[in-house]
Amino acid sequence: MGSAWYHLAPTSERLVWDRLPMTIVFMTFLALVIADRVGARAGRALPPPLLIDRDLRAYGLVQFFPMLSIPFLMLAFPSARGRDDDLWWAIGCYGASKLTEYFDAGIFALGGIVSGHTLKHLLAGAGAAFILRWVVRSPRLR
């Protein structure tokens, strides 16, 4: 919804509404993985400080730090449940979404039907679905 609002009339003022939902998702995803791997208390303490700052200059850090640190956490601190397939699929969707975003124009030039930006949103939605499925399958996180 935030991205749709921004793309209806792109302005610097609306950019925060494009990025805010993604910021919430990235930080929540990181907090859930920390709760699963390190402990529930640590996972609950993380999001508020990371979500308070609405300064978009830190957006790169907010977007990339979780996606770089989550694989490390997964490898360094195995889950007691031993079910990481959904998390790896979510990370794969994120990586693929960044590639389609980068190759936006080239993808559109292939047939003029769909752009890389559109695929980015579809892949991000698929990644979110994998995260949701992981949470639903994790009784400790609900």
pLDDT of 72 > 70? The answer is: yes
Q: Which residues contact 94 (CB under 8 A, 6 or more apart)?
A: 67, 123, 124, 127
Residue whose token pair is 């790896």? 88
Query: Are 41 and 103 in the same domain?
Result: no
Query: Are 64 and 115 in the same domain?
Result: no
Choosing from 78, 93, 123, the residue where a domain stops is 78
Quote the tokens at residue 19.
């990025």
Query: Are 2 and 72 in the same domain?
Result: yes
Query: Are 67 and 90 in the same domain?
Result: no
- In three-state secondary structure terms, 77 is coil
Residue whose token pair is 């609950």? 44
Residue 38: closest CA among 87, 84, 80, 71: 80
Query: Are 62 and 94 in the same domain?
Result: no
Span 96-131, pLDDT tens digits: 999 999 999 999 999 999 999 999 999 999 999 999
Choosing from 33, 63, 78, the residue where a domain stops is 78
Looking at residue 110, its pLDDT comes to: 95
Residue whose token pair is 């609405």? 54
pLDDT, the chain, mean: 85
Do the Cβ atoms of 62 and 50 come closer than 8 Å? yes
Looking at residue 100, its pLDDT comes to: 97
Looking at residue 133, its pLDDT comes to: 93
Query: Are 107 and 74 in the same domain?
Result: no
Cα distance between residue 17 and residue 4, in whole Å: 9
Span 4-37, pLDDT tens digits: 888 888 888 888 888 888 888 888 888 889 888 8
pLDDT of 54 > 80? The answer is: no
pLDDT of 52 > 90? The answer is: no
Choosing from 55, 78, 101, the residue where a domain stops is 78
Question: What's the mean pLDDT in 35-42?
Answer: 86
Looking at residue 39, its pLDDT comes to: 84
Query: Are 63 and 109 in the same domain?
Result: no
The number of folded domains in the chain is: 2
Looking at residue 103, its pLDDT comes to: 97
Cα distance between residue 64 and residue 79, in whole Å: 22
Residue whose token pair is 């993808």? 107
**What are the CA-CA distances from residue 75 to residues 6, 59, 66, 88, 93 (Å)?**
37, 25, 14, 11, 19
Query: Are 126 and 62 in the same domain?
Result: no
Looking at residue 114, its pLDDT comes to: 95
Looking at residue 49, its pLDDT comes to: 61
Domain membership of residue 131 as a residue range:
82-142
Query: Are 72 and 102 in the same domain?
Result: no
Quote the tokens at residue 28.
């929540």
